[in-house]
Amino acid sequence: MGIFTKYFLPNEYVQTIFDIKPDHLKSKNIKAIITDLDNTLVGWDVKDPTDEVRAWFEDMKANDITVTIVSNNNEQRVASFSSSLEIDFIFKARKPRGEAFRKASKLMNVQKSEIVVIGDQMMTDVFGGNRNGLYTIMVVPVKKTDGFITKFNRIIERRFLNYFKRKGLINWEE
């Protein structure tokens, strides 16, 4: 397995967070989720959780799966979104660096093998999760628009996806 595959290939790829079910996570001994916020849970310009997102968080909570939002965005954005869900969060996470992933696992009091990282970006969420030995699930971005840095990351991401497809390592559709 090459270095690109090791660090940039997610363990799973789904359309939305709503395709990620508690039973599936439990079958993999997952007890905690580190999730990105913008373009993973809601569009980057959506201020509050949707009813569907709230229901997903409630479903995880009802199944004893702890969720922490880990976002590179600022405190105001992440705190206002997370507060109504009554969940822990880490802002200005500087993903893919490992500090925020380690802090989240400590907050949730779980082993690395019991954590899944969910996000829409290969360059931050998947790379950061894989580099820290965590299970990773990549979702299709909620919105087609991105900020400047993310646009740059998406260009690189597309190249990795095409490489993985050519090598037969992925079989999902974009």
Q: What is the pLDDT of residues 44-98, one digit of tens each?
A: 889 999 999 999 999 999 999 999 999 999 999 999 999 999 999 999 999 999 9
Quote the CA–CA distance of 19 and 33 in Å, as a whole number: 14
Cβ atoms of 147 and 22 within 8 Å: the answer is no
Q: Is the residue at 17 inside a domain?
A: yes
**Distance, CA of 28 to CA of 166 (rounded, Å):** 28
Cβ–Cβ under 8 Å, residues 91 and 73:
yes
Q: What is the mean pLDDT of residues 138-167?
A: 74
pLDDT, residue 103, reads 97
Whether residue 19 is predicted with pLDDT greater than 60 in this model: the reply is yes
Residue 27 lies in a domain: yes
- Report which secondary-structure segment, H or E, holds 101: helix 99-108
**Does the residue 111 lie in any domain?**
yes
Q: Is the pLDDT of residue 146 over 90?
A: no
Q: What percent of the chain has pLDDT over 70?
A: 91
In a domain, 173, yes or no: no
Torsion angle of alpha carbons 132, 137, 140, 144, nearest 10°? -20
List the Cα angle 144/36/101 in 5-degree steps: 145
Residue 137, in any domain of the structure:
yes
- CATH of residue 106's domain is 3.40.50.1000
Does a structural domain hold residue 171?
A: no
Least Cα distance to 129 among 149, 156, 91, 101 occurs for 101
Structural domain total, the chain: 1
Tokens of 50: 């949707």
| Domain-embedded: residue 20 | yes
The share of the chain scoring above pLDDT 90, in percent, equals: 71
pTM of the shown model: 0.88
Asked whether residue 172 is domain-assigned, the answer is no
User: Does the pLDDT value for residue 171 go beyond 90?
Assistant: no
- Contact in structure between 90 and 7 (CB atoms under 8 Å): no
Name the residue range of residue 73's domain. 3-166
